[in-house]
């Protein structure tokens, strides 16, 4: 039988590929990609040193410079009320105060141009939301509007504190995903998330002196505390062959556990310090506690991601937690932990425990927090450790 | 030879249709628990479908009243079967009563009109002291009210190219099934929790064509509702058996 037209087409295509040396180009492309990943990995270690400093400013001041023209921009969602951005400044002020107070940081708001006082190290963070850069985009007619509000964060002119600057766009999604919320709720949620990230980024987050994991390393969170029980399961192939209801994203797989009442355990901050920091650093650490979060799972096509926050415990003294009641049977949950402590008297915290040692390279949570549009600016909140509880009716593998 | 080619082409397309049909996923059921369950041996569960959109159509067509036994009897049987299958082999013996039978036996005198069969009004009825006594006497420990909504959308014409001169044209649409199950605990006289699930799949038909010769059309369905029913039955069984308690 003669070859079909598609076979001839494929043959011709292969010939063209070979003639033009596309195989060579492909190999070179892969090599370049690998080199860029390797180079980027080296950058990550260098960038991470920013969070290793033991700074302790005497004061923390915020300057809000919201362009008044922002207040004239209105965006209507499909089912939401008109969004009046006049509340942007108030929302930022409220959410910054709330979160800073929760993590034990005394902050104040000042007007720009106030002079520095000699001998007093002040973390002065200038937040600018220029109206000229605000972008409103209508995804499809009648479906509502997605607003991107770029906010500049700058601490370059601070009084002896760490100099830093970045711009992050706060996305106000008033279309499909936000159709059940009013514009004000969407704004408040987006600004609250932005403010938490901001305080974490410029004041709170601390990194140990970490190294890039070796190939095949079982490290999960790399520069944060590690999950001990339930253990974390990861690996590209494991994730790929687990089925969408048994895998997370980026090579994360769901660990099956034998009980609905697991005792959560994780490595302590001492472990992180003793393994990777000079021993004298530990002497300046005090008030070590842990924050714990448990989430339900939500399907998002490629795999599962954390859904609703089910339980939150703060100020846990020991790196362990026993839940007050058994969990649901045959359900998947995500959990995460971070250590909070004082370093040289100033409140600090580790990154939230997440799959940082992902398939394809190390995930850099600070790149996501700073809104950098690079491949590993992956949202670490999507890949917390995941586990699934057993059946209560005795069905093997929950009848899947 | 030609016949064999036609046959293999039809088999190929049928396989493709089955493959598409198999693409419907039963996504995880999300659970919001408000009270413990831990169902006991020899207890019964009534599963009743709330689907009052059908009532108006039924009245218009037959002029009859819209009692669950006449409108949704078959569907009530189906969802009861999903839960019964999930409970098979479970260590405690639990009986499942289809919703229309449960309604006839316990609720008809309060809800003769199907129009009033909403989750809100039925939960208010179940909270009545006298009805609670009757249900406990009949050992009905839990009543599950199911709201199922299936929506067909994004209907479009599809055009697929195969191998060896074969191609196909058809119509396909997405089917989304949204199920909300509200679980009522008779003994505690409270809502024990809400289980929700949203499933999506494809359905439609395709006419395979070999060069210019059309073959009989092949219908396919993703079975969105049946997969969702099976998954919800499993989740309900686990929810009722579990010793879990609300975490907050």
Partner-chain contact B245 A310, CB within 8 Å? no
Asked if A327 is an interface residue toward chain B (Cβ–Cβ < 8 A), one would say: yes
* B 147-186 near A (Cβ less than 8 A): 161, 163-165
Top pLDDT among A209 and A84 is at: A209
**Whether A386 contacts A333, CB under 8 Å:** yes
Helix axes A183-199, A88-102, angle to 10 degrees: 50
Using CA atoms, how far residue A388 sits from A138, A263, A381, B28, in Å, is 39, 14, 18, 12
Contacts of A5 in chain B (CB under 8 A): 164-165
User: From the CA of B107, how many Å to the nearest CA of chain A?
Assistant: 30
Partner-chain contact B243 A392, CB within 8 Å? yes
Give pTM, 2 decimals.
0.80
Query: Which residue of B242, B245, B246 to mutate against A (max A Cβ within 10 Å)?
Result: B242
pLDDT band at A294 (very low <50, low <70, confident <90, very high): very high
The reply to whether B153 falls in a domain is yes
Partner-chain contact B33 A328, CB within 8 Å? yes
Q: Please tell me the number of Cα atoms within 13 Å of B247 on its side-chain side.
A: 19
Top pLDDT among A216 and A276 is at: A216
Asked if A395 is an interface residue toward chain B (Cβ–Cβ < 8 A), one would say: yes
DSSP A371: T
∠ at Cα B213 (B207, B216), nearest 5°?
35
Instruction: Name the 3-class secondary structure at B105.
Output: helix
Contacts of A143 in chain B (CB under 8 A): none
* Pairing between β-strand A59-66 and β-strand A108-110 as defined by DSSP bridges: parallel
- A vs B, Cβ pairs < 8 A, gives 86
Partner-chain contact A299 B87, CB within 8 Å? no
Using the predicted structure, report yes or no on whether residue A149 has a pLDDT greater than 50: yes
The encoded tokens of residue B94 equal: 């639990």
Instruction: Name the 3-class secondary structure at A302.
Output: coil
- Residue B234 domain boundaries: 2-241
Asked if B88 is an interface residue toward chain A (Cβ–Cβ < 8 A), one would say: no
Partner-chain contact B239 A294, CB within 8 Å? no
Contacts of A302 in chain B (CB under 8 A): none
The reply to whether B108 falls in a domain is yes
Using CB atoms, which residue from B27, B164, B241 is nearest to A393?
Answer: B241
Asked if B13 is an interface residue toward chain A (Cβ–Cβ < 8 A), one would say: no
**Whether A219 contacts A208, CB under 8 Å:** no
**A193: exposed, middle or buried (Cβ count in 10 Å: 0-12, 13-18, 19+):** middle
Asked if B22 is an interface residue toward chain A (Cβ–Cβ < 8 A), one would say: no
The reply to whether B246 falls in a domain is no
**Whether A208 contacts A226, CB under 8 Å:** no
Asked if B27 is an interface residue toward chain A (Cβ–Cβ < 8 A), one would say: yes
The reply to whether B248 falls in a domain is no
What pLDDT does residue A126 have?
A: 83
What pLDDT does residue A180 have?
A: 52
Asked if A272 is an interface residue toward chain B (Cβ–Cβ < 8 A), one would say: no
Q: Please tell me the number of Cα atoms within 13 Å of A88 on its side-chain side.
A: 30
The reply to whether B139 falls in a domain is yes
The encoded tokens of residue A111 equal: 């007007």
What pLDDT does residue A42 have?
A: 65
Using CB atoms, which residue from B30, B165, B238 is nearest to A4?
Answer: B165
Residue B44: name the closest of B120, B96, B106, B121 by CA: B96
What pLDDT does residue B7 have?
A: 46
Contacts of B89 in chain A (CB under 8 A): 393-395
Partner-chain contact B234 A328, CB within 8 Å? no
B212-215, long-range: CB < 8 A, 24+ apart: B213/B6, B215/B6, B215/B9, B215/B10, B215/B13
The reply to whether B112 falls in a domain is yes
The reply to whether B247 falls in a domain is no
What pLDDT does residue A305 have?
A: 93
Asked if B216 is an interface residue toward chain A (Cβ–Cβ < 8 A), one would say: no
Nearest CA in chain B to A323: B247
Find tokens 């310090």 and name the residue: A273
**A334: exposed, middle or buried (Cβ count in 10 Å: 0-12, 13-18, 19+):** buried
**Whether B201 contacts B222, CB under 8 Å:** yes
Contacts of B248 in chain A (CB under 8 A): 311
**Whether B239 contacts B195, CB under 8 Å:** yes
Mean pLDDT of chain A: 78
* Pairing between β-strand A145-154 and β-strand A135-138 as defined by DSSP bridges: antiparallel
Partner-chain contact B28 A304, CB within 8 Å? yes
User: From the CA of A263, how many Å to the nearest CA of chain B?
Assistant: 15
Contacts of A395 in chain B (CB under 8 A): 86, 89-90, 234
- How does pLDDT run along chain B (248 residues), one tens digit per residue? 444 444 444 444 444 444 444 444 566 788 999 999 989 888 999 999 886 555 667 777 777 666 667 667 788 888 899 899 888 878 888 999 999 899 889 988 887 666 667 788 889 999 999 999 999 999 999 999 998 887 778 788 888 777 677 888 888 888 788 889 999 999 999 999 999 988 777 777 888 888 888 888 777 766 667 778 888 999 999 999 999 999 86
Partner-chain contact B33 A310, CB within 8 Å? no
Top pLDDT among A5 and A362 is at: A362
Nearest CA in chain B to A298: B28
Using the predicted structure, report yes or no on whether residue A245 has a pLDDT greater than 60: yes
Contacts of A6 in chain B (CB under 8 A): 161, 163-164
Using CB atoms, which residue from B33, B87, B248 is nearest to A393?
Answer: B87
Percent of chain A whose predicted confidence (pLDDT) is above 90: 30
Partner-chain contact A394 B235, CB within 8 Å? no
The encoded tokens of residue A193 equal: 């998330």
Partner-chain contact A328 B248, CB within 8 Å? no
Contacts of B161 in chain A (CB under 8 A): 6
Of the candidate ranges A67-81, A244-258, B22-36, the one whose mean pLDDT is the lowest: A67-81
The reply to whether B73 falls in a domain is yes
What pLDDT does residue B8 have?
A: 47
Q: Count the domains in chain B.
A: 1
Asked if B219 is an interface residue toward chain A (Cβ–Cβ < 8 A), one would say: no
**pLDDT digit string, tens, across residues A295-353:** 999 888 788 999 999 999 999 999 999 999 999 999 999 999 999 999 888 899 999 99
Using CA atoms, how far residue B41 sits from A367, A371, A392, B133, B143, in Å, is 55, 55, 14, 19, 16
Asked if A386 is an interface residue toward chain B (Cβ–Cβ < 8 A), one would say: no
Find tokens 């039978």 and name the residue: B101
* CATH code of residue B213: 3.40.50
User: From the CA of B229, how many Å to the nearest CA of chain A?
Assistant: 14
């Amino acid at each position: 039988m003669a070859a079909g037209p598609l076979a001839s087409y494929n043959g011709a295509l292969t010939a063209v590929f070979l003639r033009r040396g596309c195989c060579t180009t492909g190999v070179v492309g892969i090599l370049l990609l690998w080199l860029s990943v390797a180079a980027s990995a080296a950058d990550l270690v260098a960038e991470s040193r920013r969070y290793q400093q033991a700074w302790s400013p005497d004061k923390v001041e915020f300057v809000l410079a919201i362009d008044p023209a922002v207040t004239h921009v209105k965006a209507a969602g499909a089912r939401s009320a008109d969004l009046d951005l006049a509340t942007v400044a108030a929302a930022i002020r409220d959410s910054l105060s709330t979160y800073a107070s929760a993590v034990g940081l005394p902050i104040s708001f000042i007007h720009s141009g106030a002079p520095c006082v000699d001998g007093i190290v002040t973390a002065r963070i200038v937040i600018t939301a220029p109206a000229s850069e605000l972008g409103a985009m209508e995804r499809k007619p009648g479906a509502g509007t997605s607003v991107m509000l770029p906010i500049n964060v700058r601490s370059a002119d601070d009084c002896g504190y760490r100099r830093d600057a970045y711009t992050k766009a706060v996305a106000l999604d008033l279309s499909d995903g936000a159709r059940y919320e009013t514009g004000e709720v969407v704004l408040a949620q987006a600004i609250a998330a932005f403010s938490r990230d901001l305080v974490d980024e410029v004041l709170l987050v601390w990194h140990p002196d970490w190294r890039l994991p070796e190939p095949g390393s079982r490290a999960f969170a790399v520069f944060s505390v590690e999950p001990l029980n339930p253990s974390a399961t990861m690996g590209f192939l494991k994730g790929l062959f687990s089925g969408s209801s048994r895998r997370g994203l980026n090579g994360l797989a769901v660990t099956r556990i034998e009980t609905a009442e697991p005792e959560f355990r994780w490595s302590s901050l001492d472990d992180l310090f003793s393994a990777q920091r000079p021993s004298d650093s530990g002497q300046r650490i005090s008030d070590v506690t842990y924050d714990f979060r448990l989430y339900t799972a939500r399907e998002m096509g490629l795999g599962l991601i954390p859904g609703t926050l089910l339980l939150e415990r703060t100020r846990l003294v020991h790196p362990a937690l026993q839940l007050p009641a058994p969990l649901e049977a045959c359900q998947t949950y995500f959990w995460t932990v971070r250590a909070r402590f004082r370093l040289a008297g100033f409140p600090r915290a580790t990154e939230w425990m997440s799959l940082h040692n992902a398939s394809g390279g190390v995930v850099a949570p600070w790149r996501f927090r700073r809104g950098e549009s690079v491949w590993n600016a992956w949202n670490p909140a999507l890949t917390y450790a995941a586990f699934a509880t057993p059946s209560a009716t005795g069905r093997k593998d929950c009848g899947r | 030879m030609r016949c064999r080619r036609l046959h293999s082409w039809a088999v190929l397309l049928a396989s493709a249709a089955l493959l598409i049909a198999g693409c419907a996923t039963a996504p995880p059921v999300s659970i919001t628990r408000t009270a413990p369950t831990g169902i006991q041996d020899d207890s019964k569960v009534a599963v009743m479908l709330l689907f009052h959109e059908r009532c108006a159509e039924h009245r218009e067509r037959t002029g009859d009243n819209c009692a669950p036994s006449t409108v949704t009897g078959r569907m009530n049987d189906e969802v009861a079967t999903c839960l019964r299958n999930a409970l098979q082999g479970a260590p405690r013996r639990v009986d499942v009563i289809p919703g229309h039978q449960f309604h006839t036996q316990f609720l008809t005198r309060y809800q003769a009109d199907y129009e009033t069969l909403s989750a809100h009004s039925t939960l208010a009825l179940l909270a009545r002291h006298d009805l609670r006594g009757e249900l406990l006497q009949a050992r009905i420990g839990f009543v599950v009210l199911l709201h199922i909504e299936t929506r067909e959308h994004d209907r479009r014409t599809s055009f697929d190219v195969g191998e060896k001169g074969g191609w196909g044209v058809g119509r396909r649409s997405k089917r989304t099934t949204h199920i909300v199950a509200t679980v009522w605990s008779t003994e505690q006289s409270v809502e024990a929790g809400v289980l929700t699930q949203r499933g999506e799949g494809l359905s439609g038909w395709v006419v395979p064509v070999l060069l210019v010769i059309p073959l009989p059309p092949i219908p396919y369905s993703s079975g969105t509702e049946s997969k969702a029913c099976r998954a919800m039955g499993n989740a309900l069984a686990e929810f009722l058996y579990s010793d879990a308690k609300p975490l907050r």
